[in-house]
Structures are given as C-alpha cells and as structure tokens.
Structure 1
Amino acid sequence: MQYKEQKIRICSNLPLHRQSGVPGKVCGALRIANQIKGCVPILHSPVGCAFQRKINTFAPYEITYNLPCTNLTEVDTVYGGHEKLVEKVLEVNKKYHPELILIISTCAPDLIGEDYDITLDEVRDMIDAKIIYDTGNAKRAPVGMQSALYSLATQVMEEQDKIEKSLNICKLSYHRTDSVDEFVDILEEMGAHVNGVYFNNNTIEDIKNIPRAELNLVDFPADWVLYAEKKFGTKYLMPPRLKIEDSLTTLNGFAKYLYAIAGALDLDTDVIEKRKKEADEKLEKYRKKLKGKKIASGFSVHGGAMQTLIEDVGMECPVLILKTRRMNLMMKDDAVKHISNSMTRFIENHQGYAPEVLINPTTEEEIKAMKEHGIELCVGGMENNMFEYLRNGIKLFDMRRMMQISKMGFNNSVNIARETYKIVSKEPKSHLLLGNIEYSMRNPSLSNYWADIVDIFQTCWHCDCKD
C-alpha cells in the first residue's frame, strides 16, 4: 500500500478531526491549493492562522508544509496590510519559484476591506508566477473550497475552442478523484473525450483548459460551475442527490447516470449494458454467499453501501437505525424526514416488507432490535458504537472504510460486496484495547470527555444553520 493511502486509511478513522476541530474557509481553500501542481498559498493573516492550518481538519493526512503568511498585527488592521502582502509575494516568488501563488484572505483583511486588485497590479510584472487571490465569493458550503474554485474560474480559466463530445470529471477535492479509472475507460469507450479530471494534482494549463469541454460532470451546481456555463458555455450535469433508488453505488443507478451523460453528448449506449452485465457476473459469486443475510443500516443517501447490498446483492435490512443529530445540524427537518421515508420505501420495495425503524435509539436498544431480527452486520459509521456491537457479536461495515474503497464505476458494487463478505466471514474481535474506553451515548465514536467538547463547539457553530 502506498504511503499516501496508508495516511488516508489511518487518519480518516480518527473520530476527532471533523468534529471538534474548526474547519473554516482557510482549510477549504488550502485543500484546493494542494491539488494544483506548483501552487504556493499565502495566508494574508496573523501568524496564528497559518500555524493552526498546517494540519487540515478536512484531511489531517494532507499537511501543507509550505504555508507562508503575512503576519498581520493590530497595527496592520488599522493601517492596512498592503505593504506586507507585496513583500511576502516577492519573497515567496524568490524562495519557492511557484507556478501559481494563491492569496487566501482571512478575517482581518476581510474586515478592513483589503483591495487585492491593487496588490496584484503592483507585483504581477515583478514575479514569474501567475498570481490570483481568493475572492471570498461563495454562497454555499464548503465556503473555502467554493471560493477558491470560483477564483480559479474567474482568474485562471480562459476561453477555448470546444472539443466535440468532450467532458470534464469534476469532483471536489475531498472526493477521491484518483478512483475514476473505470469511469474514464467507460466514457471513452462510449465515444466521449475526457478533457480532464479535476481537481486532483492538476497543472495551471489543465485548469486553463477546463472551458474546452462541452460538459462538466459535477456533484452540484457550485458558483464556479454556473460561472463556467455563463462565461464559457460549458454546461453541467449532476447525479441525483437525494434519490435513494438512483444511488451511483448500484448497477442500475450508475447505468442511469451514464445514460444521462450519453444523452447530453450523443454517445454510444451499447457499452453501458455490456459493462453492467460484466459487473453483474462478477457479483454473482458474492450474491450466492450473501443473499438473504440480514443487515441493519444507518443513514445512506447517494453514496452508501446499503443500496448496493439490498438491490445488487440481495441482502435484507429488517432494522433501519436513523440518528438525526448530525443530519439536523446540516439539513432542515423536512429534508431529514424525506430521506428517512425514501430509505424505508426503498427497502420495502426490494425485500417485500418494511424495516423496523429506530429513531435516535440508545446503543442498548439498537443491539436488542438487531438480536431480535438476527442481524449479522450493521452498515454504519461514527454514529454507531462499534465496540459494543463487537462485544455482542454484531459486525460493522464502517462507512469510513466505504470511502476508502469507493470507485466510480460498475465495479464499485463488486468492491462493496467483496468487502462485506470479508467482514461477515470473520469472527468479531471483542477484546480490543479501545473497547475499554467508556464512550458517549450521544456520540458513540468519542469518549464522554471529547463528546462534551464536541457538543459545545457544534452548538455554537451550528446554532443558526437552519434559520
């Protein structure tokens, strides 16, 4: 296993970094900067901001080693930080010889209204690198990522002649864009020209050439996507986000997505059914071993394993465990209710009977229900107390593991089935060292001490999110 993959596997299982850490827009902007070859970000900020961002709370395995900042002081917030910023840009250009300098604004310069256009006009002819600044123009989360992407669209992308039947695969940097090999192969066999995969270790030239494509495949219509459509005429297509039955992890869901792409670019569709059949044949050996076995599942929307295990593998889900605390921080009650009802209907349609639905149960109530229904495996994540499950002989398919094995393609279903079979085939380890810790009832992946800190932070951070 490569070093980066080892870091991702270890760090993505740490329960703390996304819960009591402060993500903030700087972390989001740095994630984008780290995906661009030869890019050196400059934080226009006090020194503390730069120090706190060495380890990114969005991705603790992704360390930003070179993170210069302008070291703003109280005096600079009164008189402005223009001179310090000019000095730092010249220093970075001389020391690192970057291809791109991305100035990331922070709270202090935002409050005093720093004029970055004046700075860029002054230094542009004095340095070799291209220089842009984070516009702060983002209307939706994750704000830092969206703002940085909008800056790339408005300050780097250029008008280009369109390539016929061409597309860009655009995933936000917290998705693994290095896992689209099968997707690219299928699209090219259908007759598409894949202009690029973004944003993942791209060059400045790659980003300039984004407008050559006729279509952007995106997760949602972010600000930069809408700008690219209006400015360069590059249309966009996104998968269904809240339709449980159209999950891209299932064979039918992914095929439906490919048909939509084919319709947008007039591509050959015979390839779709051929590839789908090949994956279905690979699934058959796992289907024989897993069909009819019983699982419990937590929330699962467009990227979960539950849909694949029920629809493609033939497993049953007699127990649905819905813990709404985390969902309610991000969504309104109606959206949470819609997802819950959709999951229940999906399960009932496939297995012929409705699951028992547990809303915000205790761990004891979960285990009792799972034992009554003969559950062998729970498909869950940080909301589930895996150590209590293991002590009671219930195995767990942790969704953090799901993120590590996910691929864009029909074979994603095969990966999920293979991983499920591995877990089901092993005896649960009930005497793990971490199992001796007393875990929180509300936040089962954390001890009571850290769970209290998380509650304080999330109460303050999300208090107005649904207003």
Structure 2
Amino acid sequence: MSNNQKPKFSKALVGAYGTISMIVHAMACQPAKNAGALVAVNAISDAVPLIHGPLGCGGLRKMNSFGVHSLFPDTPCTNLMELELVYGAEKKLRRGIVETYERYRPALIVVVPTCPSDMIGDDLAAAVRQAKKEVGCEVVYSTGELIKGRPIGYHDVLCSLFDQLLPDGMEIQKMENSVNLITFPIHSVNNKLGEMVDILEEIGIKVNKIFFDNTSLKDIYDLPRAVLNITDLPLPWLDRMKERFGVPFYATSSLDHPTDPKEINPHGMENSARIFLKIADLLGKRDRAEAVVKKRKQYAEERLMEETKGLKGKKVAVVGGFFFGMGLLLVREMGMEASVLIYKTYGLESHGMGRNALKQIMDMDREVAKHYGSEPLVLINPTHGEEIRAIRESETDLVIAPGADIFRYHGEGIRAFDSMKFYMDSLRIGFECPVELALMLKKALERPAKKNPLLSMLDYDRYESNLHPSWVKLENVWRAVIEGADGGCLYG
C-alpha cells in the first residue's frame, strides 16, 4: 500500500479498532518522538519517513498505531545495531536514504531520529547532504525534540520542513486575498473545513492551501503565497513563516485567556460569526462578510430552533470535561441541562497535570454550567456503581462520554453519545455544526441502549472501568516507567 492511499474498512472495524488501539496505546506504550513525527510525515502524500534507529523504533507504530486511519504503512528504518551506537551511524543513514529512495521513489524523505541516534550525536545534516547527491528527491531531517509541543516530534518535523524547504530569499508570487487553513492531520478534514471554505469564498477570500488535506511537497512550497494563515492554536512554525515571509496567522482559539469560553471554545453560532468577521477584517472584506455571515447564520438558527424542540430541558451527564469540549454546546446551543459532571483524573495526573490545575478546570466547568442554568452534581473518580447510581438518581436522559466507555452505560440500559467521535469528525467552526449535533443527539435519544454481551462478560477494574484488572496492573507499570523517564509528562 502506498503512503497516500487510505485503507477502506467497515464502520464497525474502524470503531472497534480505534477504541481498542487507543486503550492499548495509552496503557502500554511510550509514544516517543517518532510518534508525533510520523503523524506529520504521514500527512504528506508523497513523503516517506526514514526512522534512524533500531528496528523496534521502526516497528512501534505498526504494532500499536493510534487508529485505523493512522496505520503508517511505510516506515523504513536504518536498523541501528550495537556497533553503530559505538562508532557512529552516518554512513548507514546515507545508505538508508538511498535505499529508501530506490524502493519508494518519493518526492520527499524525512529522516526521523530516535533516542539511540540522539545519544551518539550523529551529524544528520552532513549525512543528508551527502545522500542528496545520490537521490532524485528532497531530503529533510528532523532535529528530534528541540521544538516543544505535543505530541513530541510533531512540531519539530513541521519546523524542520519549513526551515529546510522554505529558506530565506525564495521568490514568492503572492495570491491576493488568500489564506491557508492549518489543521491537525485527521481523516475527517473535508467534513470539518468544507463549510468554512464555502463561506470564505462567498466573502471573496480564496483558500490557497489546506494544510493538511492530501498535502504534497508542492503544496508546502506554495504555502507562502497566502497572505494569512488561519489556525486553531498558535504553532511554532507559523511564527517562523511570519518572520520569514511576512505571512501572519490568526488563531481561532487562544490560551491567553483560559477562563474565557469564547477564547478557548470557539464553536457555536455567535463564535463562528465573530471568527468569520474577524478574518474578513484582516483582509479588508468586512462589508461583504457581514451580509454573508448574517444570511448563513440566520438560516442555520432557524433550522436549529426547529431541531432543538425535543432537546430543550433534557438532562445530560458529561464524562471527561465540560468547558473545553462539546459540553458547552449542549447547554448554550441546545438548551439542555447538565445534570452530572464526571471526572476521571488518574490519566491526567499521570500525564503531569497537577491537582491545582485539575481543580481549576472543574471550577470553570461548574461556573459555565451555572451561567447557563445548570447546577450539576460533580463526581471525581467515582466507582462504576457510584457513577451509574448518580446518573439514575438525577434522571439523566443521555450520557456524553468517550467511545471506549459507551458500552458500559449501554450495558446498564442508559443511552450514551460518543463525544470523541463527534470531536474528531464533526466539531468545527461553522453554522451547520450545532444543527448536525442536534440531529445526532435526537437520534441518540431515540435509539435504545445497545448491549454488548461479549464485553459485558469480562471483569473490569473498579476505577479504570473500561479495562480488565490485569491490564490496569500493566498500565500502572508503564505509567511508572514514563513518570521516571520524563517526570510524568507523557507528551512532552
């Protein structure tokens, strides 16, 4: 399978594999820098990564990928052995680059270093310069983890691509009134950005590139043609693009004011209108934008009013955070009531989040829920029995939870909605998103809870209730290793 082909799987397999792989990944695998690096490289259709390290590093993501849409089919590896770790591996890297080109014929090879290659201090730049004389493609090397950010290695690859492919002095032909849409490489990018592209073009703003959306090497070269980058959060490589080519960026979300719902959660009718008008202001298209946004928003609001008639006043229990996810849309756009907020903090704490930070998140969630007329019961690390009892006693109509937990509520006869699937596939800036959410919620409330007999036959841990007790023991071992290795901060 070539690097730019997407495998075709049934929805059932995608759902099952995605759930299982994320559980296993979270409990039994340190992501390491090559995890984030591979996410970035795999999103470039004509690029191939070259893992500069032992075979275990090259096979890590094959044994335990992030999901069925992130299989990383091509991960050639230099296969470092003890001898190279003593005497150096630059010659082996050069040969690896040449062999990778001869086998895959890509437009771009990205060398991804690993911990062993970092320890021996190979001169990657020298090896790459020598190898480029023998291949007919671009070769870029990542510096590993010099650029901080999560997941480790992801931002570093992007900065390396920018620095080595787009140097100072490049001649750029600008595209007037054009923008780049910067996204995280997930498989639902068309669904997430289709409406935004339509609205921007109706305003008179052209989309130069969507990065990432079947992105090629040529698309990377063309990025500086835009006059503005639009991103969800500030990214290190966008700072460099601003400095080098004078292309500023507008971030639709910001961490500067983490207690402001509009800053941290930019979704919904009013926030979407504000963002489109802000983009228009930056490009001098305000007058045209006001008419377009008003028409689009009004049409969507009329449909939303009709679709939420059966949702207003319905009670929802939200698992895993309210303020940052779709919980805010439930009370603000749908008119639903937050009855229970459920927090399972073990994973966050083992990833390095302090208790004060967790308390602040919970306090913000409660304040926002109260602002929209809800007084939810708050449960922190409840047992499965305590959780189910609170949901029933509060007469909750629907549980909003990650897909890995859904079967537990269905097994108790409680309807549930997959928050992670909605986040990955549908949550976006635009006026159609709340309408789609209302339709999905109505279907979830009408659909009887589906029991999973096979899953229900297993024993589950008292607190980590989506895992078998023996898996929890293994999870604890790996978390202890991770904490000792990097202070408990799993993703950098």
Question: Same fold, TM exceeding 0.5?
Answer: yes
Task: Identify the residue that residue 410 of structure 2 maps to in structure 1.
Answer: 390
Moved more, 143-152 or 159-168: 159-168
Verify: 1:342 aligned to 2:347, yes or no.
no
Do the aligned partners of residues 421 and 288 (structure 1) sit closer, same or farther apart at CA in structure 2, a change above 3 Å counting?
same
Q: Please give the secondary structure, in 1, of the residue aligned with 2:416.
A: strand
Contact 1:157 1:209 in 2 (8 A): no
Do the aligned partners of residues 428 and 354 (structure 1) sit closer, same or farther apart at CA in structure 2, a change above 3 Å counting?
same
Contact 2:382 2:463 in 1 (8 A): no
Q: How many residues are aligned here?
A: 465
Please point out which of 131, 147, 153 is paired with 1:138.
Answer: 147
Q: Following the alignment from structure 1 to structure 2, what is the Cα–Cα distance between the partners of residues 253 and 407?
A: 13
Please report how far the alpha carbon of residue 403 of structure 1 lies from its aligned counterpart in structure 2 after TM superposition. Answer: 3.2
Do the aligned partners of residues 187 and 8 (structure 1) sit closer, same or farther apart at CA in structure 2, a change above 3 Å counting?
farther
Please report how far the alpha carbon of residue 296 of structure 1 lies from its aligned counterpart in structure 2 after TM superposition. Answer: 1.0
Task: Identify the residue that residue 453 of structure 2 maps to in structure 1.
Answer: 432
List gaps (5 residues or longer) in structure 2: 1-5
Please report how far the alpha carbon of residue 387 of structure 1 lies from its aligned counterpart in structure 2 after TM superposition. Answer: 4.1
Q: Following the alignment from structure 1 to structure 2, what is the Cα–Cα distance between the partners of residues 83 and 429?
A: 57
Q: Following the alignment from structure 1 to structure 2, what is the Cα–Cα distance between the partners of residues 450 and 150?
A: 37
Please point out which of 25, 28, 36 is paired with 1:20.
Answer: 28
Verify: 1:233 aligned to 2:241, yes or no.
no
Contact 2:69 2:187 in 1 (8 A): no
Please report how far the alpha carbon of residue 93 of structure 1 lies from its aligned counterpart in structure 2 after TM superposition. Answer: 1.9
Contact 2:35 2:151 in 1 (8 A): no
Q: How does 1:113-128 map to 2 (within 5 A)?
A: 113-128=121-136
Task: Identify the residue that residue 169 of structure 1 maps to in structure 2.
Answer: 181
Identity of aligned residues (%): 31
Q: Following the alignment from structure 1 to structure 2, what is the Cα–Cα distance between the partners of residues 45 and 64?
A: 17
Task: Identify the residue that residue 215 of structure 1 maps to in structure 2.
Answer: 228
Q: Deviations over 1:249-292 (max 9, x none)?
A: 32223223223322322332332232222222222332111111
Contact 1:282 1:414 in 2 (8 A): yes
Query: What is the letter of the counterpart of residue 429 of structure 1?
Result: K
Task: Identify the residue that residue 278 of structure 2 maps to in structure 1.
Answer: 260
Task: Identify the residue that residue 197 of structure 1 maps to in structure 2.
Answer: 210
Q: Following the alignment from structure 2 to structure 1, what is the Cα–Cα distance between the partners of residues 440 and 283?
A: 35
Contact 1:35 1:201 in 2 (8 A): yes
Task: Identify the residue that residue 3 of structure 1 maps to in structure 2.
Answer: 8
Moved more, 111-120 or 210-219: 210-219
Q: Please give the secondary structure, in 2, of the residue aligned with 1:43.
A: strand
Please report how far the alpha carbon of residue 316 of structure 1 lies from its aligned counterpart in structure 2 after TM superposition. Answer: 0.8
Q: Deviations over 1:149-205 (max 9, x none)?
A: 111111123542433332211112247423211111111112222111112321111
Q: Following the alignment from structure 1 to structure 2, what is the Cα–Cα distance between the partners of residues 156 and 330?
A: 35
Please report how far the alpha carbon of residue 209 of structure 1 lies from its aligned counterpart in structure 2 after TM superposition. Answer: 1.4
Verify: 1:150 aligned to 2:171, yes or no.
no
Query: What is the letter of the counterpart of residue 13 of structure 1?
Result: T
Contact 1:28 1:58 in 2 (8 A): no
Q: How does 1:22-421 map to 2 (within 5 A)?
A: 22-55=30-63, 57-136=65-144, 137-157=146-166, 159=170, 160-174=172-186, 176-179=188-191, 180-241=193-254, 242-243=258-259, 245-246=261-262, 247-267=265-285, 268-300=289-321, 304-328=325-349, 329-351=351-373, 353-381=374-402, 384=405, 386-408=406-428, 409-421=430-442
Contact 2:27 2:474 in 1 (8 A): no
Q: Please give the secondary structure, in 1, of the residue aligned with 2:300.
A: helix
Q: Following the alignment from structure 2 to structure 1, what is the Cα–Cα distance between the partners of residues 466 and 403?
A: 5
Contact 2:48 2:75 in 1 (8 A): yes
Q: Please give the secondary structure, in 1, of the residue aligned with 2:59.
A: helix
Please report how far the alpha carbon of residue 302 of structure 1 lies from its aligned counterpart in structure 2 after TM superposition. Answer: 6.5
Contact 2:319 2:400 in 1 (8 A): yes
Contact 2:323 2:364 in 1 (8 A): no
Please point out which of 455, 459, 478 is paired with 1:457.
Answer: 478
List gaps (5 residues or longer) in structure 1: none
Q: Following the alignment from structure 1 to structure 2, what is the Cα–Cα distance between the partners of residues 26 and 45?
A: 10
Contact 1:167 1:193 in 2 (8 A): yes
Please report how far the alpha carbon of residue 8 of structure 1 lies from its aligned counterpart in structure 2 after TM superposition. Answer: 4.3
Contact 1:244 1:342 in 2 (8 A): no
Do the aligned partners of residues 461 and 200 (structure 1) sit closer, same or farther apart at CA in structure 2, a change above 3 Å counting?
farther
Q: Following the alignment from structure 1 to structure 2, what is the Cα–Cα distance between the partners of residues 445 and 404?
A: 20
Task: Identify the residue that residue 446 of structure 1 maps to in structure 2.
Answer: 467
